[in-house]
A and B are shown apart, each in its own frame.
Chain A
């Protein structure tokens, strides 16, 4: 049974991805995507019902050879595409770095596998290790990831029609697109199950490859450049992986079993922190933490479902998964404290940078990096409460951020822009879509939604870690304030319109857009209401399996979630806030005759017309705009500090690990 489920989770999407590559017919390809989504969702639920976790599972040893071969095939692929790029577009920083880093990552790995290891391929038992943390990830990947792929069927159709209309595209490139999308899901499932570090490193490379393929999908010069940036930055992580494996090797195959590495953690002698630091570096690059944030921002050129996938269920989530996974191994060390400070710094810096962004997807990207920073912060605090919060944040962020990207994509296909300024007043014409989007934003921002419950937990967890907690808390609170500002001002742009006399345009209901969005917002709401059962059945067992005392994290009751030092009355808050907010939102409607123009010193034209009367009774357009404080908070200004701070913190991280 386990074998079948593992096969369905990892191999099935890769195979259907390959099939997509061959299908030219849009409908048939859509059918394959639907089928994959259905199979993944069902198999992930079957996985959950397996009962006794953790499960160790080793497939036939042939698979070790397959993975060995394909690992070098992928590295060769990276070399090939970089050399091809040199031939086509000339030498650039990005393709040279890609070649250099592929070699730096690949050669030590080859030395290890073919010369150091007693036999090739090196087998580790079990090759796969499946516990609740893996299952949580698997559910996120299989359910949210699949929904995004289904949404993409419609999105890519609209996207390509639009590009063909503009003359940017001759024939469909969707087969390749869905190949990478589906392969991504399979690789991610492999990544979260892998116990053999060589397997983990392999799946890590596959996700890098898929990410590269998806970012460059539109094949504009900027897309190709940004894809290479993502590639070489993620390859830094691969270098970290290769070196970590070499440092860990002590002659026995157990030394590269992830579970062994974590459990032997503190007792492993001098320099034991170095491999952990290297693995964290890999996690930071994947999660686009400072100073690697530019690859994820550059990835925004890709079609929106790609962003949704990268941000919610794959890629960046692999980074935080790895750090949360290995956190027990460095509990109570200076390394851990530094990771908390680092995460806090990322959270604050990205929240402030997000204020200055006027492109919707870049705001979402900064918010993602910030939230991942928050998860890193939790992993760094490394108490049971903090790890529980980190896992909860992982779940809730996946739902809400997937939702928000898909919302922006759907809005984009109505207004053909991703700029927040162009979204002014879209609530008038797209009430349902805007409503879902605003609800999604609120689910990232306010009580009683899961992300905020997690933030609350993070604040309480951060208060209990001694002297350094002061710094972590200051970063956390300031970041929290800035987060509120960039969400609130965006919500304001959506809603900004004059009262409309008569009825507004009706919004077409597109099942693949609205249906999936409604499904995701329902997840966000239901999981937040059911926070106690969600904690009990997923998070608490994951904590116990990782060696933390779950009782020190949260205790739950029928209506509350209790940390050792606080209480979140989930149910009552939900009920009261629903009454307080949603009843007015849903019912408060002004009578048409109550509509007035806004205050224009008496020089208004008429209701619903955005004009005022200027000199000589000339009608002049009324414009309003958002605020971005770009001259102070813009990237050009802040990155001068933010990037060096990121680099310095990483250097300190390695110094701490080496002493």
Chain B
């Protein structure tokens, strides 16, 4: 893979990812509305929202809040760039986590009970999904022979048949990252359960727009990681189906569940999620998969 091509794909990723992310959010809202017997907004409503937010007067309620809103977006874009450059998957995740962490830190830097509540809960969400994502890189690397995304492309075979157990665990992590019910404890992706939206309570106007954009990037990056499970061979287009299918599952799960408690989420994520990936690693090490 030549360098020029890689850099080109990174630039395209940075431009296209928010378009896909915004569109998915729009379709999400439309489908959810239909499932709930409503008509819902036009599917490009998220773009209208973000553009409108950018036009609002900036307001801040805490010292460092603003810097962390920028850093949130910038670091997640960095993670997307490193993914597009086919770098080490663990490194991509580390950068992503650094970015994701800016959101709760930004929320915690406002002296507001709601924002603090949301920030703390966001950290608990983080505690639930970070280990699953990190651990999930191990079976991928064991199969592909290395952690760089480039190695997964070189592997030449689809990963899903060997790693379907890990894939299920990743769906749990995806639901937590997307803040879908029953894992929406720090603030739902749709504001359908609350008037004061947890972790983003104190972000407004352009800063909320930055966070929304960052969230789109984050979602697309995670869906792309799921897509890696069938990225090579003649059926490479299955990766897109897998990513979109996972996204659609999240929608259904969101609409048939209610928010549960943080302790339940943590037990479920560490119990089911971690054990699934661990079993997958064990089976690979024993030569069964």
Contacts and interface: CB of A to CB of B under 8 A. Distances in A.
B285 A581 contact: no
Interface stretch (B17-25, B40-48, B70-78, B153-161): B70-78
Interface string A455-469: 010011001001101
A591 B60 CA distance: 9
Interface in B32-70: 57-64, 66-68, 70
A473 B138 contact: yes
Q: Classify the secondary structure of B's interface with A.
A: helix
A159 interface: no
Given A478-B270, A488-B105, A599-B196, A496 B62 contact: yes
A599 to B, nearest CB: 6
Contact of A446 (B60, B94, B137, B274): B94
B91 A624 contact: no
A585 B71 contact: yes
7 contacts: A446-B97, A446-B98, A456-B94, A478-B274, A495-B109, A579-B74, A584-B71
Given A495-B109, A497-B63, A598-B111, A446 B81 contact: no
A573 interface: yes
Contacts of A626: 120
Q: Name which of A485, A488, A498 has the most chain B CB atoms within 10 A of its CB.
A: A488
Contacts of A428: 63
Interface stretch (B122-130, B177-185, B232-240, B249-257): B122-130
Interface residues of B, number: 70
B116 interface: yes
Interface string A624-650: 111100001000000000000000000
A484 B103 CA distance: 13
Interface residues of A, number: 66
Given A474-B274, A498-B110, A566-B88, 4 more contacts: A478-B131, A496-B108, A598-B110, A624-B111
A323 to B, nearest CB: 25
Contacts of A26: none
Contacts of A596: 59-61
Contact of A497 (B107, B111, B123, B282): B111
B141 interface: yes
Nearest to B70: A584
A81 interface: no
Contact of A481 (B60, B64, B127): B127
Contacts of A569: 82, 87-88, 91
Given A482-B127, A498-B61, A585-B71, A447 B91 contact: yes
B105 A576 contact: no
A460 B147 contact: yes
B200 to A, nearest CB: 11
Given A488-B123, A581-B75, A598-B115, A495 B108 contact: yes
Nearest 7 CB-CB pairings of A with B? A492-B108, A598-B112, A495-B109, A580-B74, A584-B70, A566-B147, A481-B130
A447 B119 contact: no
B286 interface: yes
Contacts of A625: 116
B281 A473 contact: yes
A427 interface: yes
A550 B58 CA distance: 54
Interface in B164-219: 196, 201-202
A25 B163 CA distance: 70
Contact of B282 (A467, A492, A500, A595): A467
Contact of A477 (B59, B66, B131): B131
Interface string A474-507: 1001101110110011011101111110000000
